[in-house]
């Protein structure tokens, strides 16, 4: 039987706290630069200048002009944020968390920019098409399209997007594969396959996920996890992921996104109508020079809602942890895996209340371990000699 004595709580090292503090400031700086860029575009009228350049470059073709405009916006945004991106790349190397070479990182940056351009163009073209087609109700049509596309991309991500950045192969450990598939079956989750995620080519961190929807749902395990964790620990990590399925967190998350995005599109539409009809800031509703205003509105709303959405996410993570504790024979591997993940990924075990409240979508690791310890003490078989 497992030793029932409580495990010694581990404290965050000064290095871990420093790494996470720098990482947070990078996120804040990136957010502020993006926000400032949108405000400057609107306050100076440069957005109209870019629109005019886009029209001239496209031969006055509306949809092509929208594409050129988006391309210019994303190119300028990338230039403005490249310094922070590179600092983040160097930060991972400074703290010995990355294996990625500069050429590979630059190629990933290029691919990310291209994918953002493609997806952004599709979304923005659809939005302005709906505005021109139905000026009164465009936001409702755009909202429905947004939800459908969100589900579509969640479904294709494991088979289309992820392989653009990482290599995957079927898990060769047959005993572990069988064990995880049985765990999935007990959770009522149909899983297509278990894959090894070759994360070590780029990172020294460890991770695992239950990715995809429907026919594309699969278990992906980082090779860094397979190399450093026991089968019991890997099972406990996956049990947490399956807890999200058992508690229908994906469907609940989609429902929350449906409601939040509905009000988001409505508020954005009202802001746009006020800017056009009352303030005369733009020539018409379908003047795509107003795109920075739409993005600014959604960005501010997301920022305001972030603490609330993170609190909701943490509640789901606690439910998934509870399922993991209930579904594995011994919670000790769950505790050890949490501590090992914290060490390997340099995650803060005990962030301040403010940091956890605003930045963290998961409960603090110290709290997750404490819950597991409390659960461990309630199990008679764990207390036996």
Percentage of the chain exceeding pLDDT 70? 96
User: What is the per-residue pLDDT across 107-163, written as a single tens digit (0 to 9) for each?
Assistant: 999 999 999 999 999 999 999 999 999 999 999 999 999 999 988 888 888 889 899
Measuring CA to CA, how many Å separate 230 from each of 3, 116, 196, 204? Answer: 17, 38, 15, 17
**Rounded to 10 degrees, what is the CA torsion of 305, 284, 45, 82?**
50
Structure tokens at 354: 């403010």
208-211 vs 218-222, strand pairing mode: antiparallel
Specify the pLDDT at position 1: 39
DSSP helix/strand/coil, 292: helix
User: Nearest CA to 236 among 313, 329, 339?
Assistant: 329
- pLDDT reading at 266 higher than 80: yes
Can you tell me which residue has the tokens 């990078």? Answer: 26
Specify the pLDDT at position 260: 92
- pLDDT reading at 5 higher than 90: no
User: What is the per-residue pLDDT across 176-195, written as a single tens digit (0 to 9) for each?
Assistant: 999 999 988 888 888 888 99
pLDDT, mean over the chain: 90
Burial 201-215 (b: 16+ CB within 10 A, else e): ebbbbbbbbbbbbee
Can you tell me which residue has the tokens 């991106």? Answer: 85
User: What is the per-residue pLDDT across 250-263, written as a single tens digit (0 to 9) for each?
Assistant: 889 889 999 999 99
Helical residues (DSSP H) of the chain, grouped into ranges:
14-44, 46-58, 62-94, 102-133, 138-156, 174-186, 223-228, 231-246, 249-273, 291-327, 332-345, 353-359, 365-378, 380-383
Contact 203, 173 (CB under 8 A): no
Q: pTM for the full model?
A: 0.87
- The pLDDT confidence band at residue 6, using thresholds 50, 70 and 90, is very low
């Amino acid at each position: 039987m497992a030793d029932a004595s409580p495990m010694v709580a581990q404290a965050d090292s000064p290095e871990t706290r420093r790494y996470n503090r720098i990482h947070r400031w990078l996120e804040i700086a990136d957010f502020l630069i993006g926000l400032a860029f949108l405000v400057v575009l609107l306050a100076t009228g440069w957005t109209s200048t870019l629109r005019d350049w886009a029209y001239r470059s496209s031969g006055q073709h509306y949809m092509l002009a929208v594409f050129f405009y988006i391309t210019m916006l994303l190119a300028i945004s990338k230039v403005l944020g490249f310094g922070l991106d590179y600092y983040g790349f160097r930060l991972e190397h400074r703290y010995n968390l990355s294996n990625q070479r500069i050429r590979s990182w630059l190629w990933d940056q290029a691919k990310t920019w291209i994918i953002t351009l493609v997806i952004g163009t599709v979304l923005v073209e659809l939005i302005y098409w709906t505005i021109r087609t139905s000026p009164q109700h465009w936001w409702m049509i755009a909202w429905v399209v947004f939800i459908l596309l969100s589900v579509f991309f969640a479904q294709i991500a494991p088979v289309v997007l992820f392989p653009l950045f990482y290599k995957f192969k079927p898990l060769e450990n047959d005993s572990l594969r069988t064990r995880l598939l049985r765990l999935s079956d007990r959770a009522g989750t149909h899983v297509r396959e278990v894959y090894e995620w070759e994360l070590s080519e780029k990172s020294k961190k460890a991770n695992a996920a239950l990715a995809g929807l429907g026919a594309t749902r699969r278990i992906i395990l980082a090779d860094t996890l397979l190399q450093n964790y026991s089968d019991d620990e890997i099972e406990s990590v996956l049990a947490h992921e399956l807890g999200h399925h058992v508690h229908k967190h994906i469907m609940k998350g989609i429902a929350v996104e449906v409601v939040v995005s509905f009000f988001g599109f409505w508020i954005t539409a009202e802001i746009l109508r006020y800017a056009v009809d009352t303030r005369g800031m733009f020539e018409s509703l379908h003047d795509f020079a107003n795109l920075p205003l739409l993005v600014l509105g959604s960005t501010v709303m997301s920022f305001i809602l972030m603490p609330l959405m993170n609190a909701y996410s943490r509640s789901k993570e606690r439910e998934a942890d509870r399922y993991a504790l209930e579904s594995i024979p011994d919670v000790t591997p769950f505790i050890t895996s949490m501590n090992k993940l914290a060490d390997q990924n340099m995650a803060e075990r005990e962030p301040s209340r403010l940091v956890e409240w605003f930045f963290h979508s998961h409960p603090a690791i110290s709290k997750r371990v404490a819950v597991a310890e409390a659960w461990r003490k309630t199990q008679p078989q764990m207390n036996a000699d």
